[in-house]
Amino acid sequence: MKNIKSGWKAFVFEAVKNMAAARNPAAEITPGEIVLEKPPRPELGDIAVPLFPFAKLLKAAPQKIAEDLAAVLGGAEAGEGARFTAAGPYLNIHLPRQDTARKILGLVENQKDAYGNCGALAGRKIMIEFSSPNTNKPLHLGHLRNDALGESLARILKAAGAQVQSVDLINDRGIHICKSMLAYQKAGAGKTPESQGLKPDHFVGGYYVLYNDMAKQNPAIEEEAHAMLRAWEEGDEAVRELWRKMNAWAIEGIKATYKRTGVSFDKFYFESEVYQKGREEILGGLARGVFYKDADGSVWVDLAGIGLDKKVLLRSDGTSLYLTQDIGTAISRHADWPFDRLIYVVASEQNYHFAVLFHVLELLGYEWAKNLYHLSYGMVNLPEGKMKSREGTVVDADDLIRELADMAAGEIRSKERESEVGDIAGVSEKIALGAIHYYLLQAAPAKDMIFNPKESLSFTGNTGPYLQYMGARISSMLRKAAEKNAPAAAPDPALLAAEEEWQLLKLIGEFPETVEQAAQTCNPSLIAAFLYETAKTFSRYYHDYPIILADDPPLASSRLALARGVLTVLRGGMYLLNIPFLEVM
């Protein structure tokens, strides 16, 4: 549709230019001034061109320009069957339907599953960091939003032609890690995830919760945790061994959740391996006078350049800071894989952190610091209230998926669809993931949101399961048509003359540009909204029009081609949102 549209853009530009030449020879216009919009109602046309920008130049009211253009273009041969009408200050273009339909369906049939991909970001190297858990506890609901955004964006950027490297920063060192280690040392002797029958990250998380209980009883334990961190930094072998053991458990469990949720990474960074680099960088900056030293020996940066106060970069006791670690990590990454852009998918709680991080890297003279971008996303809560991690009442990701899968299985049973569905456990798990990923992605990233499990699972409405359901219905219809081996006629786009068919064709045509926009704005919710609109439009169409018509093979075959186009877009879009596709549901 984009190519089709840009053809019309050039066409209108020529007409405006000619009009300008006749009326005001001094006037100069550029193609960029022609903007294509979507008319508010489909009856008005397919493309609207606002004419306000030319009023001054052409010395006429935009309404008058619209009328004149419509009159001139109405008779133009080059219009290839398009119609032009004026509506107030807009020129509306009614595309030649048969021709456009033929082009769109031809493109889908040719490109198949690659339909939707575009070259907008071709040649760009984009690194995207997401998830980045701490190894003291399992993934929670916030990580599900993070992972949904990161995985989806990685897929969208790839579809837009970029070379993408997804990375995960495992925060495997620091005081919070020592806390679960300390609790295990005191109360876990000899116990293992196997002995307790627990998923290993849940096993480790249990000790983090236990630590917090212990600290309530005995605040002095805090000092023991700090002592353990110092021992870790000094390389104390016993502490390191405990650390390796517990981290291995946590990471094994976290990776199992990634596998379960369809999330993958090209590279893992471990904070313990990169955090020292930050310290060297800060010392280098200090020597060059970029930072300054306090009387107590700590090193500071002045943030006046971004309207903020000052910030400590190295403490006087030499222990490491979150910010310093991130400085080293960013530098290592750019050396490993020189990116054009690095996107950090991290919650809005850390807006300040990233503003400071990017500025400090700029102060250090890294030219690429301007290519760092924080994709900040809002908090997710359950309807009951805020999730709390310290008290251990955090909404665990694995538990939430299991609960939703149980609810989905209940729904399948209550509708008595067990025999059609077959693998109930597998299908319900996919429905649960579809529900979660869609719900988390349909909101614009920056917005805080309430995750409502019940709502997310609804099979009707703006949900993942609704898309899965439409996908399954179309698939089943196409299977039936294939079984009948009917119809034995070539599709003819000219037969797709109903208004609903035209709306569907246009939606199919808009898929690649929707992918492009989502990639440009780092916003998967654009794809969610687009898929919902497409599924809804198809559902209405399917309700009102028979598709497999044995008595009219050319019409049936044309409608099936349309259905295949819708399915291609639905399946492709669901992939971009990490919503499992279901052949039956």
Binding residues for ligand ARG, rule: CB under 6 A, are: 129, 132, 134, 169, 171, 326, 344, 346
Question: In 97-217, which ranges are E strands?
Answer: 125-129, 163-170
| Minimum distance from residue 199 beta carbon to ligand ARG (Å) | 19
DSSP 499-519: HHHHHHHHHHHHHHHHHHHHH
Q: Is 193 exposed, middle or buried (0-12, 13-18, 19+ CB in 10 A)?
A: middle
| Minimum distance from residue 386 beta carbon to ligand ARG (Å) | 16
The smaller minimum CB distance to ligand ARG, of residues 9 and 179, is found at: 179
Tokens representing 326 are: 């991130």
Mode of pairing for the β-strands spanning 341-347 and 125-129 = parallel
Rounded Cα gap, residues 296 and 318, in angstroms = 11
The smaller minimum CB distance to ligand ARG, of residues 171 and 468, is found at: 171
Mode of pairing for the β-strands spanning 449-450 and 125-129 = unpaired
| Minimum distance from residue 137 beta carbon to ligand ARG (Å) | 10
The smaller minimum CB distance to ligand ARG, of residues 134 and 247, is found at: 134
Placement of tokens 């495992």 in the chain: 170
Beta-bridge partner residues of 168: 268
Asked if residue 193 lies in contact with residue 294, where contact means CB atoms within 8 angstroms, the answer is no
The smaller minimum CB distance to ligand ARG, of residues 1 and 342, is found at: 342
Tokens representing 285 are: 């900056």
The smaller minimum CB distance to ligand ARG, of residues 282 and 569, is found at: 282
Placement of tokens 């991690």 in the chain: 389
SS3 538: helix
| Minimum distance from residue 350 beta carbon to ligand ARG (Å) | 7
The smaller minimum CB distance to ligand ARG, of residues 4 and 169, is found at: 169
| Minimum distance from residue 143 beta carbon to ligand ARG (Å) | 9
Which residues, at least 6 apart from 288, have a Cβ–Cβ distance to it below 8 Å?
A: none
Compute the residue count for the chain.
585
| Minimum distance from residue 132 beta carbon to ligand ARG (Å) | 4
The smaller minimum CB distance to ligand ARG, of residues 228 and 356, is found at: 356
The smaller minimum CB distance to ligand ARG, of residues 59 and 370, is found at: 370
Of residues 204, 137, 141, 578, the one with CA closest to residue 399: 141
Rounded Cα gap, residues 347 and 271, in angstroms = 19
| Minimum distance from residue 353 beta carbon to ligand ARG (Å) | 7
| Minimum distance from residue 235 beta carbon to ligand ARG (Å) | 23
Rounded Cα gap, residues 561 and 478, in angstroms = 10
